[in-house]
Amino acid sequence: MSQPAFTAHVLDTTRGVPAENISVSVSKINHSNTTLAQEQLATAITNANGRVSQWNVPLEEVESGIYKFRFDTGPYYDSLSMETFYPYVELTVNINKGQHYHIPLLLSPFGFTTYRGS
């Protein structure tokens, strides 16, 4: 099996634990001078360690461009009976063909931090 193009890791910084069962989707943004379209490539759920390690998007199939990662955080906080300011978090990033990208998300009900991981 080839290396995945993308992986992600979500940590709940308020509770100090991995954020399990968060739906995460990845889409390619296609735009021209007059239109903006999104092509959803895959959806996955974070595991018990808060990780998405396989999206079934092989590295060799990913083209350079702009991609969006959407983390559906609302249902996660609903399951904990907690309010959140962010029903979802969308991260839009530049991707270069042939590179692996790890997307960490440090999450709390009223804030988040992200960076390009390794």
pLDDT for 1 equals: 52
Q: Is residue 94 part of a domain?
A: yes
Considering the entire predicted model, what is its pTM?
Answer: 0.90
Question: Is 31 annotated as contributing to ligand binding?
Answer: no
Q: Distance between CA atoms of 26 and 101, rounded to whole angstroms?
A: 12
Question: 67: annotated binding-site residue?
Answer: no
Is 44 a domain residue? yes
Number of domains in the chain: 1
Per-residue pLDDT at 62: 86
The edge-to-edge listing of strands for the beta sheet with 65-72 is 36-45, 23-31, 65-72, 89-95
Distance in angstroms (rounded) separating the CA atoms of residues 5 and 97: 9
Asked if 109 and 82 count as a contact pair (C-beta separation under 8 A), the reply is: yes
Kindly state whether residue 1 falls inside one of the protein's structural domains: no
Whether 60 maps to a domain, the answer reads yes
Domain range for 58 is: 6-114
- C-beta separation of 24 from 44 below 8 A: yes
Say which CATH number the domain at 17 has: 2.60.40.180
* 39 within some domain: yes
Per-residue pLDDT of the chain (118 residues; tens, 9 = 90+): 567 788 999 999 999 999 999 999 999 998 766 667 888 888 999 999 999 987 777 677 789 999 999 999 999 999 999 999 999 999 999 999 988 899 999 999 999 999 998 8
| Residue 37 pLDDT | 83
pLDDT at position 27: 93
Find out whether 102 is annotated in a ligand binding site: no
